[in-house]
Chain A
């Protein structure tokens, strides 16, 4: 009777561990999904702002047509992007395009004084830093999930229930503003 009891005990322990590991993996995966939807919200916000910005700049710098087309094209590509890697690539193009758009704006003093433009500029840089923070959160959660999937013995549970490691969302780090620090 005793050996049966021991075997039974071990089985119960293993099952309990399996349930625990499974639940942990599920909550990690949900956090990654949540992180991704945060990024998505901010990316969409940026897509909405771009046409406004282009229209405003056009009013002052109509002959920069090539640049406008480039930005619009990048935006179209990004809205249609599938999967994390493709999205990241498309976002890099948009970020670069916006950066040159703002660089061009530097040459037009009236544009730089336009209230609408200033508000858009704040909105866009705010959205850009939110994208960066959302990405940071997402990548941290992805790292936790991927580690949990690879670690033994949880890896067995992960394999059994087909938990997949997720890709990191990698875009070029936006340049921080100048800060004077005397070291």
Chain B
């Protein structure tokens, strides 16, 4: 577990560096496309640094807001609060704040900076269909994300990747529609190099979101298995989580707001369509391991 925490810290720093480089490259490419030269690089790096500071301090807020989560009081949701507090005690961390997401699909996520500033959010659908032991299983899974500092890494990934996708999409469209004062290159001065740079720029703009996606994938799948196992250890009762996962698998609702940037934070992949087999291609790009595989591994514990 301590190795996991250390690895998460290392990865967070690495991710932040990669994001600066990536955003810098995108900025550089955009600068060339618009003929403003390396100025774009400087602007992009400054934006990247500001973004990361923002992601660290406000990332949890952003993630919660994008899920339209609402904080609930102890009086409103005594059962949920009691379970969260119980598992926080079991994990030896302070009690996270408790949020509810107005969605019919059963799902949950955790976010925050560290165990002292953490949040656990569950959907209304989850509260409606799960009994106490199943909820404990789910919250145990989320609590181990809190305990292992997965939440900081996951939250920063969500914010930074969201921003990368947003920025490159913005410029792709601006360029496509010839918007914001697009000074197209005049072909007199050495078109060859310009064209090559332009091509590289284009490739970068196209690839950046894909890179982001890949980072997100690297985050997710193994730590879901790990959090399943650790969560089951916290509750000392794997059947609770198993039965919760089965209910999630069989639930008839899909998430209405399946947001790509936050997909890896959720307990189960938000984009999963109920009752549909996941194809091989889809499995390659999914942020979560197949739910049946997770159930199988829990049964083997």
Contact B89 A130 (CB under 8 A): yes
Instruction: Contacts A129-B136, A179-B239, A181-B243 given; indicate if A122 touches B82 (C-beta within 8 A).
Output: yes
Number of B interface residues, CB 8 Å?
Answer: 25
Segment of B54-62, B126-134, B254-262 engaged in the interface with chain A: B126-134
Instruction: List A contacts of B270 (CB < 8 A).
Output: none
Number of A interface residues, CB 8 Å?
Answer: 24
In this complex, the member of B79, B86, B89, B239 whose beta carbon has the largest number of chain A beta carbons within 10 angstroms is B89
Segment of A78-86, A133-141, A164-172 engaged in the interface with chain B: A133-141
Whether B90 sits at the interface, judged by CB under 8 Å, is: yes
Q: Give the CA-CA distance A134 to B95 in the complex, in Å.
A: 13
Contact A133 B243 (CB under 8 A): no
- Main DSSP-derived SS at the B contact region: helix
Q: Give the CA-CA distance A123 to B82 in the complex, in Å.
A: 8
- What is the distance, in angstroms, from A98's C-beta to the closest C-beta of chain B? 16
Leading 7 A-B pairs by shortest Cβ distance? A126-B82, A133-B90, A130-B86, A133-B89, A133-B86, A181-B239, A134-B89
- A-B contacts besides A130-B85, A136-B90, A179-B239, 20 pairs, CB < 8 Å: A35-B92, A38-B89, A122-B79, A123-B78, A126-B78, A126-B82, A126-B85, A127-B82, A129-B83, A129-B136, A132-B86, A133-B86, A133-B89, A133-B90, A136-B236, A137-B90, A137-B91, A177-B131, A179-B131, A179-B134
Give A residues with C-beta under 8 Å from B: 31, 34-35, 38, 42, 119, 122-123, 125-127, 129-130, 132-134, 136-137, 176-177, 179-181, 183
